[in-house]
Structures are given as structure tokens and as C-alpha cells.
Amino acid sequence: MKIRLFGVVLFAVGAVFLLGSCKSNLKSSKTGWNYNDMDNGGYDYLANYNQATGPGLIFVEGGTFTMGRVADDVRYDWNNIPRRVTVSSFYMDETEVTNSDYREYLYWLKRVFADYPQVYQQALPDTLVWRGHLAFNEPLVEYYLRHPAYNDYPVVGVSWLQATQYCEWRTDRVNEMMLIKEGLLNVDPNQAGANNFNTDAYLAGQYVGQVRQDLPNSDPNSGVRKARMEDGFFYPKYRLPTEAEWEFAALGLVAEKELIDNKRVYPWRGNYTRNEEKADRGKIMANFSRGKGDYMGVSGALNDGFAFTSPVKSYWPNDYGLYDMAGNVSEWVLDVYRPLSSLDVDELSPYRGNIFTVQDRDASGNLAEKDSLGRIPRRAMKPEENLKRQNYKLSDNRNYRDGDPRSSIGYKTGEQNSEKSTAKMYDSEIGLTSRISDKARVFKGGSWRDRAYWLVPGSRRYLDEDKATDDIGFRCAMSRLGRPDGK
């Protein structure tokens, strides 16, 4: 007998705890006590768990690769010097987030937070990004986000901050739907304000919702209980991909017996922007600008076929099955930008941008009450909480080893630097210094308005996290838990 639970097949021997007082054949190898057994205290253990692929995602098996720009750096930025790194397995959205996807998010915000209209207003894309001093783009300003003709086009005008908030919202909606599918919650279309499903609030016991049924409990002191993280019901968080994950996924380096062609220029085979396969030979592989003033080709013989953005899945996917990893729109990634991050970040799961936080608690250790939007408050870890740590001392690590002496421990005062941002655009002593600050976020991939040079996965640019453009969109990622081979 086997039981299907949350998209994962579990053999009955590993899911006995769901049956309440049933005996379990599983035992602790260290103590000999039974798992999932009320007579033995009721410690629950879930066997044979395998993470299911979340809605919209493609599994990307990680591994080692040469990260960085391996083609000529004609701008001489040298901001992504090739180096060998390893990326853990993860999941990536098959396509960029579309206008329809994002409007679903806006609709939910407007409905649930009717008493907090600023929540909806802050999430709205900036449709004015389409305007140009000497271009007639008003139809795109008026219609691109809302008109059904553009449903499957990538959303633009979204800042890095807005993209990360979309990812957080998506996590909660997917986890809520999983609990509904497994019969623990009923659909509740009347959620409003703080009374909306939030994964952290549910796990903290601060969201009740319309309960259909609770789980039988192996604990002899309690009859039923809510779902817990240990039950395997919840997906990991949707988030933006790290720069390393995005670049790895774009290259699509599927190896055979460790034979990897690290000299691939674009997200497809070959060193050109046209298809090499016999059936489609000569067709443009992505939506980009072929040259000055040429955004779609000649009438009657269009090259990429679209003057601005194009519907997702208009071109061929890469070897991982991911669409538009070059062209259409550039995409936000998680990292803070530093020109020489390639020399500083770790070899395993490289990433710059960590700010270590914890859920807020009172003096007795109890979780703080959820806020007016239904979320459990989080805070940065305090310096005194980090004093005895060996792996880090500061909670804010955006500036760690970034080459800026102001970021160094012991700068001037001889004491550990504070957690205040030290990457400055303006210095009172010498004036304007740099456009690079702690708000500068990396975006990757070429867009519909870029030349082929920017289609190279190793290319990187940056923009302040609260800014938006008509050629930057995003897609979500998710961490793979457990076996990296997906088995």
C-alpha cells in the first residue's frame, strides 16, 4: 500500500504517523524506540521524502562550471573574471513572469488588502518606463500590462524590490493550495487584512483559516495537530535566483561523463545567434536588436519577429528546458553588485547579499504577533548575538571583502565596523565616488533592445533595487532540498 501526500509518493511504512495510533515498523537506529508510535511517545518521522517540483518550475541539477565571461570583454569592465565554482541543485521558472501572472498577484493584493490600498499601489509596475523623449510608445504605456493581447508577454517596469515581494507572495499561495489539496484547509475567498494565509504565520500557529480537518497526532498528550515543517507539506520559498544559479541555468551545460563544453557563448549550442538545426536553420534564436535601428528585421522577412518584447516560449528552450534565457527581457537576480565579486565570493553556492535575520521574539522567547499584513516580523541579528560565532560576525554581509577599506574590520578606529551600509555613492570629503551602493542589484541576460553582446550568460550589469525599466523582468527560483540528483 502507498499513500500520495503533497505530490510525493510515500510508502505506508513511512507515513504511519498520519494514521494516529497505528504502530510503526520504523525505529531509531540510535535508541531503538519506535517512530510514529503513541505508545513510545509519538516522535514523528517521515521516510522516503522527495521534493516535488513546484508549479511553473524546471529542475536544474547543479554541479561545477566556469562562471564568468569567456567571450571577449569589449567594454573592458573585467567584472566577471572566469573562475571555477559549484552550484547546488535548484529549480528555475520555465519562463519569465508574464503580465497575466503579475496581474493575478495584483488582483489578490487589491482584494485581500482592500483596507490597505498602499500595498496594492506599491506593487504596481511602472508603466511609464515605456516613454521616450523622441519615441511614440504611449500605446505600450496604456495597454502593455492590462490588455489581453499582451497576456503572455513578460512583465516589465518591476523593480528588484517588487520582484522579491512577488516571490514571497507566490510561496504562500502555493503552500496554501497544497494544504487545500491535501484536505487540511478549505478554500477561503474571504481572507482580508492580517487574516490571510502566510506560511510562517501558519507554522507559528497564528493563522487558523477555514480548517477542513487536522492531522491525527501520535503525541499521547494531544489528539490532533496542525501541519508542521517536518511533515514535508511545504515547498521551500520561491525567490529570485542567485547570479551563479542564473548563469549556470542559462548555459544549460548538460554533461556526459564529466565532458563539459565550457566555451559555449550563448544559452544554445553553437557560436552564432541563428539556429543550426536542419529544420529551422538560419532562424534567429532570441529576441534582441540585431543592429542600430534594427529591432525586428525587414517587412516580409522579419528576423526575430518582434519590435519590443515577445510572448514567452516564442523561441527555442535551452538544454534545461528554460525559455528566454537570452533576449526578450533581462532578468533581476538576487545578488548585490560589486565589480570584483568574482574574486571574493565562495567557491560553493557563490552569492553576495546576505543579511542574516531571525524571526522577532519577546523576552520570553515567544514569537512576536503577526503584523497588520499577516506576516511574522523579522529582524537582523544583533552584534551581541554574533559575538561567539566563528562563521560570521556581522549580520549585514553585503560589503564583506568587497575591496572597500571602509568595509574592513578595524578601519580607522581599530574596532569592528558597524552593520551600517558602507558602500557609498557620496563621500563628504571627496564628493561623488560611485554609483555602486548596497542598493545596486545585478541583472543578467540581454533584452529586446540589446545587441548580441549582452546575450552571453556571463555578462552582468546593475541597477538600483528600487528602479525599473522597460527591458528588465524576472523569473523565480527555488532551492532543491535533499539529494541533488533529484532522485
pLDDT at position 1 is 35
More confident residue, 427 or 487: 487
pLDDT 10s digits, 293-323: 888 878 877 777 899 999 999 999 999 999 9
pLDDT band of 42, cuts 50, 70, 90 = confident
User: How far is the C-alpha of 15 from the C-alpha of 52, rounded, in Å?
Assistant: 17
d(CA 195, CA 370): 10
Question: Which pLDDT tens digit goes with each residue over 191-205?
Answer: 999 999 999 999 999
pLDDT classification of 155: cutoffs 50, 70, 90: very high
Question: Could you tell me the residue ranges of all domains in the chain?
Answer: 54-182+233-353+441-487
Residue 421 pLDDT > 60: no
Sign of CA dihedral 414, 419, 422, 423: positive
The 10s digit of each residue's pLDDT in 214-273 is 998 888 888 888 999 999 999 999 999 999 999 999 998 776 666 665 567 888 877 778
Residue 23's pLDDT band (cuts 50, 70, 90): low
Average pLDDT over residues 381-387: 89
Q: Of 79-88, 98-107, 250-259, 372-381, which one has max mean pLDDT?
A: 98-107
At 10 the pLDDT is: 39
Looking at residue 316, the DSSP 8-state letter turns out to be -
Per-residue pLDDT reduced to its tens digit, 428-466: 555 555 678 899 999 999 999 999 889 999 999 999 999
Non-local (6+) Cβ contacts of 250 within 8 A are 267, 318, 322, 325, 326, 444, 445, 457
* Proportion of the chain above pLDDT 70, given as a percent: 86
Q: Which residue has the higher pLDDT, 37 or 158?
A: 158
What percentage of the chain carries pLDDT values higher than 90?
59
Which strand (E) or helix (H) includes residue 479?
A: strand 477-479
Q: What pLDDT sits at residue 125? A: 98
Mean pLDDT, rounded, for 90-105:
98
- For position 417, what pLDDT does the model report? 41
Q: With DSSP H G I counted as helix, E B as strand and the rest as coil, what are the percentages for the chain, rounded to 5? A: 20, 20, 60
73: pLDDT strictly greater than 90: no
CATH of 54-182+233-353+441-487, one of 3.90.1580.10, 3.40.718.10, 1.10.1240.10, 3.40.50.880: 3.90.1580.10
The pLDDT, as a whole number, for residue 4 is 41
Q: Which segment, 228-232, 421-425, 469-473, is predicted with the most confidence on average?
A: 469-473
In angstroms, the CA 138 to CA 135 distance is: 9
- The set of cell numbers assigned to 192 is 482580508
Using DSSP's 3-state secondary structure scheme, residue 357 falls into strand
Most confident of 28-42, 271-285, 306-320: 306-320
Query: Residue 426 pLDDT more than 90?
Result: no
